Structure 1
Amino acid sequence: MEIDVEAQSNPDSTIFKNANRLVILEFEDVVYKIKTNNGGLIKKDSKCEEKMILKGLTGVIKPGEMLAMLGPSGSGKTTLLTTLGGRHGGGGRLSGNITYNGKPLSNAMKRNIGFVTQDDVLCSFLTVAETLAFTALLRLPNNLTKDQKILQAEAVVDQLGLTKCKNSIIGGPFLRGISGGERKRVSIGQEMLTNPSLLLLDEPTSGLDSTTAQKIVCTLWQLASRGRTVVMTIHQPSSRVFYMFQKVLLLSEGNTLYFGNGAEVMDYFARIGFAPSVAMNPSDFLLDLANGLTPGDSHEDQNLVKQGLITAYKRNLADNVKAELQEINLHQPHDEPEDKTIGEWPTTWFQQFSVLLKRGVKERRFQAFSGLKIGQVLTIAVLSGLLWWQSSHLQDKIGLLFFMSGFWGFFPVSQAVFTFPQERKILAKERASGMYRLSAYFISRIAADLPMELSLPTVFLTIAYWMAGLKATAGHFFLTLFVLLLSVLVSQGLGLALGAVVMDQRSATTLGAVIMMAFLLSGGFYVQNVPGFIAWIKYVSISHYTYKLFLGSQYSENETYLCYDRGGSRMCMVGEYPAIKQVGLGGQAISMVAMFLMLVGYRMIAYIALMRIGVTKV
């Protein structure tokens, strides 16, 4: 495949030449209902009723046109946009016809749609260039080489005017990065990478100043002029921005008040008796009408005004829109076969895993090895070594072993519970766009965490073990290290499962602390005679099995220690020491099997919980 030198300025003319068809988007009598519970708290006499969000909307948008959906909050703009993009989810009931070139949504067409959410969901620690490059590697098909995908990402950087900030990190709430306008352009760039024929955007100018908003809309206007179909929701555009829209859809409480040419909207409302009394921004005037406010100081009933506008639309414009739909359907080839070469995924599983792993390591390198975490572990390791400095007492040594099982139970859980709640939006966005398989993401995410999860406990044990005077042989040390790392991975799995199931950071943290405290108390160190009705906890306790394996890594049943009684000192069996006897030195293999079962089981729970997120089937 040849790459034209124009790639740096116009990606449409090179790699993706003739790759995508033009898209005519049609929607007819679209109704969307959700169930609501009247009465607040669930009661026996409460009734679930259906609320109609979209009330029979009809329209058509052709290639080269840019449609703006206007309306006050709650008018149904975002609901209609997500419905048109096939992302309405399963929370409501949809009826009506939505077609793309005369056909319902298919996997091939879904790959041809770009969807930009209102919130810029981006990886905070990646640069602009890295963000677009990773997206290109995941979303572009395998008939392109890696170099061609990177070239396409660089071309989008140039096209959107992001060259000056391409090496700057995205940033976030607590990390300074690029500006809001640049973030929005990066979000648009992620969708432009696949050269979509249909581009849907939810409030692309939200939170931006008028100049930046105009630049964003001007960029979208240029995309539409090249044959794309562009649809966006927008709240209150400036007059300069408003007149860029070829078509305008004005909504009020799920009803259409106007659908047609943007340049004719003011004349239409003037003809039906609603003209502004003073010169004003058209979007301000239209929003007033959508709220039932008439020009001047009229005190007309707002609901009556809205009903009048709905009736006027049905009488004056609705038939014209349906006639346009019928005319397009007459000339549209309905027998065009679907492209069977387009698979469900643009890349292979291993490619997805490799790219996600590399991205995860880059994203996590700042969080995983932050000075605060390293300092925390080093401080506790040195402090533990000093407190247990070359201890010769059996009780002290088993106390250190139990402390390690407790600390390295809490620490991984407290870190892992944040993983999926923090990445939920990114996962939902990327999975909805068909970027990768959930399994590739899940395994790469776990693998990206391994450097931190394994290196910090290794450093901790290397310091504390020798300072505390535990058995100074390589065999005992490495067996203890193996048990510690296994415990860390199991605890991490519990944290991942809690985060994935609860999906709320505060609730997951609280639940994790309660569970780990229960495991710690039943571990066999604090309470040796646990009542039978609650003794079952130890059989699912990470702390219990870790403590038992730690004891086995240091002591054997035939080993002796120097003990004292009224008759003086004598040699006693380690296995008979009360604090050890209750836990026991036997059953090491069973404890190891239990740990491996939890290692796999917790991660399976997390994976199943994540299956709820991100994909709308077609």
Structure 2
Amino acid sequence: METEMETMEAHTESAETKVNCTFMKANLRVTLKFEDVAHKIKIRKGGGWFRRNIKSEERLILKGINGTVLPGELLAILGPSGSGKTTLLTALGRRLRLTSGSITYNGKSFSAAMKRNTAFVAQYDVFSPFLSVTETLIFTALLRLPASGFTKKEKVLRAEAVIDQLGLTKCKNTIIGGKIIRGISGGERKRVSIGQELLMNPSLVFLDEPTTGLDSTVAKRIVLTLWELAKGGRTVVMTIHQPSSRLFYMFDKVLLLSEGSSLYFGKGEWATEYFSSLGYAPLRDMNPSDFLLDLANGIYYGNSHEDRAAVKKALASAYKSNLAHKVKAELQDSGNEFQIASEDKKLGKWSTTWLQQFFVLLRRCVKERRHESFSTPRVARVLVLALFAGFLWWQSGPANIQDQVGLLFFYNQFWGLQPLIQAISIFPRERRMLIKERSSGMYRLSSYFMARTVADLPMELTLPTLFVTITYWMGGLKATTINFFYTLFVVLLNVLVAQGLGLAIGAVVMNQKSAITLGSVIMLAFLLPCGYFVQNLSNFISWMKHGSLSLHIYKLLLGSQYKADDTYPCASNLPCLVGNFPIVKYVGLDKQGLSVVALGIMLIGYRLIAYFALMKVGVIHK
């Protein structure tokens, strides 16, 4: 063990020599204390039709947990699944409102100053798959580092220094990737997650199972990095499920949980000796973490399932008798001598201004969306469909009014449903990233929403413009510039309003499959009363057409090509008034200004619904 510690110290010295950056050492030293931390959740049972017989019961997830973590210490929270590890870590990181208990940071409650010095790395990495490692860290630096203390160039240099510090130089220009898109490895993704938090040079670092899914070599490198961070004066707290013995001896302190109760809190190297003193000695050469997890599950030398509850109860009782008073004494004895000069100053809630956030997010959104919006399959699909529609309606001409109103209805249908379905998935897909970034105070919701809206404009309007340009002239619609741009304007307005509806549905439902189903039903309900399929609506359902997005769009599309006193050849080639053609008569060519106003209200209203629905994605800032 001494040899391993010497190796780690040598590695730390070489790392600090190699990486000449100002944030290897913590600016602030933080003593973390948690006393009698308890948390309850309500579990609903029952249900069935009409949600009858629903009962709720309270379950105690954490049962009075105590502990102290000093600057320079790495605390590992161990325990089986369901033991309360993540709940405790989330509470310590102030992302959960506790039922009872107190958590202090240098003897004080969580403040804006402490928030700026705290990092939280979630278990699951959330990134944009199309951004490279460098882009991901630079955008994070531009948003999170305070504008008052850093220039743009200094923020970029900080991101590059973190890349060097975490050994990400070889993959810095590789995209992050995802489930479908190949990118960096799992270990590199985890280091990027840690790097995003290191940009702030945090003094207090929380990590939820940072080694999950990684092989032993990569896991050791991650934990070694965390050990080095702690030795730089930081307070590091992590949950971990089943570390190897090599990792176990890197932990300065270990907290063992079982069903929300503490079984051990103290130095990791003393854990097996403590349990041996209680009569629970490990097998020779057994991984100490495996031994502790067996005990947390009540397993000892293959005892029966019935005896396991007794083992857990005995160990929880032994903790209260042997260790609880020592842990309480440490809570009282460890001082709060480490202070931060700006602790009592009024700090702004945000590191950057609204405009700075907007422009950085706008650049990021454009980089993210261009790959999706202009992907080869999507562009090819639109081009092929445009050419097919152009040949299908080839030079239909004003004499074939039935064909022309069919082409206009196809514009209405295709460029209403297509952007709706694409927009529906945006917020459900980005929900986890939004929660992660908003929880860290990276940006305002309004700046994110506006950047997302503006970035989508060129992306979403280019392909419809290309589609209309091809089909309009091939389809034989009125060959004048004014009529063409009028038609194009209506189609683009259809895209924007349908996109707003999709954003609203996705933000309200926040489940991609359910939202797509609901959106499809709503769009079909809008399309059916447009007059193309049915023109004799009963009075009890005719009211639907007045709120139909598709009906207002169809009215404007028909108005872009026809006037009421235009004629077309009908029976025996006699001229008939366009205004009397059944579909045109049903939809009407009058009151087009009213349709524009109605669509303008929908354009703004749907996006307001989406914005206020996003506000329900709760973020704890206290």
Percent sequence identity over matched residues?
62
1:384 corresponds in structure 2 to: 389
Instruction: Note if 1:513 corresponds to 2:513.
Output: no
Contact in 2 for aligned 1:548/1:583 (Cα 8 Å): yes
Contact in 1 for aligned 2:47/2:53 (Cα 8 Å): no
Separation in 1, partners of 2:306, 2:475: 84
Instruction: Note if 1:407 corresponds to 2:417.
Output: no
Amino acid across the alignment from 1:33? K
- 572, 590, 605: which one aligns with 2:609: 605
1:346 corresponds in structure 2 to: 351
SS of the residue 2:181 aligns to? coil
- 225, 237, 259: which one aligns with 1:253: 259
- 585, 592, 609: which one aligns with 1:588: 592
SS of the residue 1:171 aligns to? coil
2:425 corresponds in structure 1 to: 418
TM-fit CA distance, 1:45: 4.6
Separation in 1, partners of 2:404, 2:338: 80
TM-fit CA distance, 1:299: 7.3
1:192 corresponds in structure 2 to: 198
2:128 corresponds in structure 1 to: 123
2:9 corresponds in structure 1 to: none
SS of the residue 2:570 aligns to? strand
Contact in 2 for aligned 1:277/1:296 (Cα 8 Å): no
Amino acid across the alignment from 1:103? K
Contact in 1 for aligned 2:566/2:577 (Cα 8 Å): yes
1:345-372: CA deviation from partner (whole Å, max 9, x where unpaired): 0111111111111111111111110111
- 369, 393, 418: which one aligns with 2:374: 369
SS of the residue 2:193 aligns to? helix
Task: Please provide the CA RMSD for this pair.
Answer: 1.9
SS of the residue 2:573 aligns to? strand
- Structure-2 change in CA distance of 1:397 and 1:337 (3 Å): closer
1:258-296: CA deviation from partner (whole Å, max 9, x where unpaired): 001111111111111111133200000000000011236
Instruction: Note if 1:278 corresponds to 2:296.
Output: no
Separation in 1, partners of 2:470, 2:117: 56
2:483 corresponds in structure 1 to: 476
Instruction: Note if 1:176 corresponds to 2:176.
Output: no
Contact in 2 for aligned 1:30/1:96 (Cα 8 Å): yes
2:7 corresponds in structure 1 to: none
1:53-89: CA deviation from partner (whole Å, max 9, x where unpaired): 0000011101000000000000000000001111126
- Structure-2 change in CA distance of 1:361 and 1:188 (3 Å): same
Contact in 1 for aligned 2:138/2:159 (Cα 8 Å): yes
Separation in 2, partners of 1:544, 1:478: 20
Contact in 2 for aligned 1:116/1:200 (Cα 8 Å): yes
1:9 corresponds in structure 2 to: 19
Separation in 2, partners of 1:465, 1:8: 63
TM-fit CA distance, 1:601: 0.8
TM-fit CA distance, 1:44: 4.9
Q: How many pairs are equivalent?
A: 603
Contact in 2 for aligned 1:249/1:260 (Cα 8 Å): yes
Separation in 1, partners of 2:352, 2:426: 25
- 33, 37, 42: which one aligns with 2:40: 33
TM-fit CA distance, 1:341: 4.8
Instruction: Note if 1:616 corresponds to 2:601.
Output: no
- Structure-2 change in CA distance of 1:140 and 1:463 (3 Å): same
- Structure-2 change in CA distance of 1:337 and 1:322 (3 Å): farther
Question: How does the TM-score come out when normalised to structure 1?
Answer: 0.94
Separation in 1, partners of 2:556, 2:476: 18
Amino acid across the alignment from 1:504? N
Instruction: Note if 1:429 corresponds to 2:433.
Output: no
Separation in 2, partners of 1:160, 1:368: 33
Contact in 2 for aligned 1:431/1:614 (Cα 8 Å): no
1:572-604: CA deviation from partner (whole Å, max 9, x where unpaired): 222122221111100101100010111011111
SS of the residue 2:574 aligns to? strand
Matches within 5 A, 1:480-495: 480-495=487-502
Contact in 1 for aligned 2:46/2:52 (Cα 8 Å): no
TM-fit CA distance, 1:334: 9.0
Separation in 2, partners of 1:467, 1:346: 54
Instruction: Note if 1:244 corresponds to 2:250.
Output: yes
TM-fit CA distance, 1:46: 4.2
1:454 corresponds in structure 2 to: 461
- 548, 559, 565: which one aligns with 1:541: 548
1:157-185: CA deviation from partner (whole Å, max 9, x where unpaired): 00000000101111111111111100000
SS of the residue 2:65 aligns to? strand
Separation in 1, partners of 2:404, 2:23: 71
Contact in 1 for aligned 2:89/2:238 (Cα 8 Å): yes
Matches within 5 A, 1:84-233: 84-88=92-96, 94-142=99-147, 143-233=149-239
1:51 corresponds in structure 2 to: 59
SS of the residue 1:512 aligns to? helix
Amino acid across the alignment from 2:105? Y
